[in-house]
Amino acid sequence: MLPRVTLDLSLSAADLTACLVDIESVSGNEQPLADLIADALAGLPHLSLHRDGNALVAQTVLGRPERVAIAGHIDTVPVAGNLPSRREGGVLWGLGSCDMKSGLAVQLKLAAGLAAPSRDITFVFYDGEEVEAERNGLLRLSRQHPELLKADFAVLMEPTGGVVEGGCQGTMKAEVRTTGERAHSARSWMGRNAIHAAAGILDVLRQYVPRQPVVDGLAYHEGLNAVGISGGVAGNVIPDECVVTVNYRFAPDRDAARAQAHLEEVFAAWDVRVVDVAPGARPGLDQPAAASFAAAMGGEPRAKYGWTDVARFDQLGIPAVNYGPGDPMLAHSRQEHVELAQIGQVEDRMRAWLTA
Amino acid sequence: MLPRVTLDLSLSAADLTACLVDIESVSGNEQPLADLIADALAGLPHLSLHRDGNALVAQTVLGRPERVAIAGHIDTVPVAGNLPSRREGGVLWGLGSCDMKSGLAVQLKLAAGLAAPSRDITFVFYDGEEVEAERNGLLRLSRQHPELLKADFAVLMEPTGGVVEGGCQGTMKAEVRTTGERAHSARSWMGRNAIHAAAGILDVLRQYVPRQPVVDGLAYHEGLNAVGISGGVAGNVIPDECVVTVNYRFAPDRDAARAQAHLEEVFAAWDVRVVDVAPGARPGLDQPAAASFAAAMGGEPRAKYGWTDVARFDQLGIPAVNYGPGDPMLAHSRQEHVELAQIGQVEDRMRAWLTA
């Protein structure tokens, strides 16, 4: 029998991050890590614990006037030769070190250490964030146990480099299609080439000037890009269809309907089909809870360009921001790493705010 | 036991065409038809018969000063709801009626009826023409039994609408590639989109003016077309590669090397990789045998745009033309059909030339 592994929450957040990285938890394989977190939290008498699959919710129930949710996903993208973790000077390398086991370590340290915070806290640890939306543990919790997620404000501990990143941009995937007429390629003039016609779509994309709107005081940066293209019937046939898949990243002053209307206008000459959409979230830094959090964390809040689960809290009517250790540019890269000092800094600031 | 089917070569060429259509011989399934042709030819004492797999060569050996090869493939493209054959007025409908069982019927009628032609004849019936080159029975014969294909002139009985079609255009497939730099699509400006860059390739294709050169008196018509395009990594990644597959149909005054040089010049800004090439064949109507054949068949010879096995005879040093019943535009279509009168006309003219 193997010796029983446990998570030692008395370790520093930096050391705990290394432990968490070394427990592989690629999406779909979260159970061993969820079990360990559940065991560790079960030993904390000041927390009320709920489990749903591989998602865990641990709450203080102190009757404080305000409740904050502190959430993080426990899964990672696939292994890419970057396990186990490796420490070099003040840097920890390894899968998930940045996205987001350093954030998880901070959550666990706060959960273990704050028996009597000034705000009630709901810690959320969830599975399936790095894959398709239907597998997302936070979505599942919001459908099956919405009462567990009730809060006045939420912090998603995604990597933000230790700076508050407000809201998030929405993302829409659409197929833009050209049609033509098949013919034998030895007599190409008998047909109409749908791939050649796609040049018009690509020209629109090349000339597109993305908006950079300021929303609630933060500057967003949109983008409209081809992320796929396909066409062709056979090596000797003039193709009668070409599909350009575009990804529109839209600032949170636009909802899904307006984003779609924009694509239909930009690609008015072609058939446009939306295949996937996740609306963004306004930063909400004008709301008291978010503003006080941003002030306490220090630094100049900035916009979150990528889509994150803050949008899910937004849809539940809960203002939310992103805040965690780790450079977001390193997320999903083989070279993922995190500065250990930043983990401790984020932990200290969060603890100060939660006890003030 | 099923009654033994035989090919009755005393039928008219039109009736024989209907029989041949009803013996399904999609590429890969030629054996039943090859067996029946072999049986029918074996009963003809004036022919010397050779078999290689499902290819058959039947020769007169009369010591005539000139030898002509008359060749046709016995396979068809896949069934498309167009079997069995159906006669309507003077038209026969069905798979292969045009490409090229009507031509085969003419070959068989000539083989059976011409015991003492004025020119020695080599009839070639071969498999695997409608699929990749390596399965082509004429190629196999040219490698394993080149002596069987020796001739001064060759007629390929592909559908030409009863008009001599000289030579054929070559065909080259090449991949033209753009490269870029990956980035997360939420920060697209950090990358370089290779699909957007492919607009340049498509613009070249849209503006391309194909040559229409006159070669040995016949007007060819080139074509340069995208027949495939692919690119894309994932829905949230700026793609770093896009491949446009182009098909260049080139007139027979260009060989493969010059065709490739042309593509490299047209697409000088990109990486070009030739993946497949089959050179064309000059019409050779200035050669005595071809000229006398064209004159005897009547009508105005024209250029063959598609690639055919005349190119293979050309590479063996044998002038060759395409000549057969059936509209070449109908080949490979569900609506394949042939005018019965044209079959008899082609048969009569061939017989007259072979006995003159």
Distances (CA, A) of A158 to A12, A53, A237: 19, 22, 49
Yes or no, beta carbons of B227 and A185 under 8 Å apart: yes
What value of ipTM does the predicted structure carry? Answer: 0.83
Distance CA A128, CA A27 (A): 5
A247 interface with B at CB cutoff 8 Å: yes
Residues with Cβ within 8 Å of residue A154, at least 6 apart in sequence? A68, A69, A70, A71, A310, A313, A318, A319, A320, A321
pLDDT digits (tens, 9 = 90+) for A134-145: 899 999 999 999
Does any CB of chain B come closer than 8 Å to the CB of residue A53? no
Task: Measure in Å the smallest separation between the Cα of B243 and chain A Cα atoms.
Answer: 10
Q: What per-residue string of b and e applies to B284-293 under the rule 16 or more CB within 10 Å gives b?
A: bbeeebbeeb
Q: Does B157 touch chain A (CB under 8 A)?
A: no
pLDDT (tens digit per residue) in B39-85: 999 999 999 999 999 999 999 999 999 999 999 999 999 898 999 99
Name the 3-class secondary structure at A206.
helix
At residue B4, the pLDDT reads 58
Is the Cβ–Cβ distance between B207 and B200 less than 8 Å? no
The larger pLDDT score, comparing residue A259 to residue B328, is at A259
- A281 to chain B, any CB pair closer than 8 A? The answer is no
Minimal C-alpha gap between A280 and chain B (Å) = 12
Q: Do B306 and A186 touch (CB under 8 A)?
A: yes
What pLDDT sits at residue A331? 87
- Using the Cβ of B273 and the Cβ atoms of chain A, whether some distance falls under 8 Å is answered with no
Asked whether A94 and A83 are in contact (CB, 8 A), the reply is: yes
* Chain B positions in Cβ-Cβ contact with residue A244 (cut-off 8 Å): 195
Q: What is the pLDDT of residue A118?
A: 96
d(CA B113, CA B200): 59
Which segments in chain B show pLDDT lower than 50?
1-3
Map residue A14 onto helix, strand or coil.
Answer: helix
> Does residue B215 come out as left (phi exceeding 0), alpha (psi in the -120 to 50 range) or beta?
beta
Q: Which residues of B are catalytic?
A: 75, 129
How far apart are the C-alpha atoms of B49 and A184, rounded to whole Å? Answer: 36
Q: What is the mean pLDDT of residues A247-257?
A: 96
Q: Is A314 helix (H, G, I), strand (E, B) or coil?
A: helix
Q: Which residues lie across from B247 on neighbouring strands?
A: B173, B225
- Number of Cβ within 10 Å of residue B295's Cβ equals 12
Contact at CB, A223 and B185, closer than 8 angstroms: yes
Answer yes or no: are the C-beta atoms of A125 and A72 closer than 8 Å.
yes
Please give the interface size between A and B, counted as residue pairs whose CB atoms are below 8 Å apart: 154
pLDDT digits (tens, 9 = 90+) for B77-87: 989 899 999 99
Kindly tell me if the per-residue pLDDT of A348 is higher than 70.
yes
Q: Which residue has the tokens 């009626």?
A: B97
Q: Closest Cα of chain B to A159: distance in Å? A: 15
* Predicted confidence (pLDDT) at residue A1 exceeds the cutoff of 50: no
Over residues A185-234, the pLDDT tens digits come to 988 998 999 999 999 999 999 999 999 999 988 999 999 999 999 999 88
Look at phi and psi of residue A298 and say left if phi exceeds 0, alpha if psi is from -120 to 50, else beta.
Answer: left
* pLDDT computed for residue B80 by the predictor: 87
Kindly give, in sequence order, each residue whose CB lies less than 8 Å from that of residue A338, ignoring residues fewer than 6 positions away.
A17, A91, A92, A97, A98, A102, A159, A325, A326, A327, A330
Transcribe B123-189 into DSSP letters: EEEES--SS-GGG-HHHHHHHH-GGGG--SEEEE----TTS-EESB-EEEEEEEEEE-B-EEGGGGG
What's the pLDDT tens digit per position in A93-108?
999 999 999 999 999 9
Distance, CA of B243 to CA of B50 (rounded, Å): 46
Mind telling me how many Å the CA of B225 is from chain A's nearest CA? Answer: 7
CB distance A189 to B223 below 8 Å: yes
Check pLDDT > 80 for residue A2: no
Q: What is the mean pLDDT of chain A?
A: 94
- Residues of chain A with pLDDT > 90, as a percent, come to 85
Residues B319 and B308: their CA atoms lie apart, in Å, by 13
As beta bridge partners, residue B86 has: B93
pLDDT at A4: 58
Residue A249's DSSP bridge partners are A171, A223
Q: Which of residues 89-128 of A touch B (CB under 8 A)?
A: none
What's the number of CA atoms in the CB half-sphere (13 Å) around residue A335?
4
What's the whole-model pTM score? 0.83
> CB A315: neighbour CB atoms within 10 A?
13
Phi, psi (degrees; rounded to nearest 5) at B269: -80, -5
Give mean pLDDT, residues A253-278: 96
pLDDT at A3 over 60: no
Distance, CA of B201 to CA of A32 (rounded, Å):
50
